Structure 1
Amino acid sequence: MTEPIDIDAAELIDARPGGDGRSLTVKLRDRNGRTLRLTLPAQWLDHLVTAAPSSVGNGEAHPLSSWHMEAAGDGTLLLVLRTPEGTAVNFTVKPWQIAGMATLATHGRLDRNETERVH
């Protein structure tokens, strides 16, 4: 088995889906100035996104562009939140959780400080 090649990316130049829709090709520049092209199977993308560091807790917030909800089975719902850039995150939620969010949005005090969370 050969040793893995370490790539220390410094700049994303381009990212494009493959012509057949089954892959993603990423073109980047490494810290040594070399341009590299990496092609990955599209089915790996969900795993790559979920492996990325989360922004929860650092105060960063992303704008919400759209959302939709559908039945997920077993009495749960699938809630899909999408950013303006098209990034989507899926959550399975229970109807009572959605009802609680709706109640807070409609009747709750949204100006509470961080230590006064209701949930």
Structure 2
Amino acid sequence: MNIENAQVQMRKGILEFCILHVISRGEVYASDMLDELTSARIMVVEGTLYPLLTRLKNAGLLDYKWVESSSGPPRKYYVLTDDGKQFLTAMQETWLDLADSVQTIIRKTNDAIQTQKTS
């Protein structure tokens, strides 16, 4: 099994959750999302982001508005809908439960390793 592939799959699994979080703070332009995700070391490219944004919009979780730009064409800014806010809240609860469960398993593994070392 390839570790890099496994890491990419883990990141993809939480990408939607992270995007919704970024948008939840207010109107956001797609390139600003890309910058934030990249700086958080969640690598994503435009070819991944835009289809995901379209899917989230089609699901009724996002909306957007066009804003004129003084330096080029109008920009599309994304916002969460009320359904999107509720969806994010449910995902947040799931994430916290999942993170706690994973930490429990990791802690038990680390404890077992420590016990083996001292035996």
TM-score range, shorter chain: under 0.3
TM-score, with length taken from structure 1? 0.25
In terms of fraction of residues, the more helix-rich structure is 2
In terms of fraction of residues, the more strand-rich structure is 1
TM-score, with length taken from structure 2? 0.25
Q: Which has the higher contact order (CA 8 A, sep 6+)?
A: 2
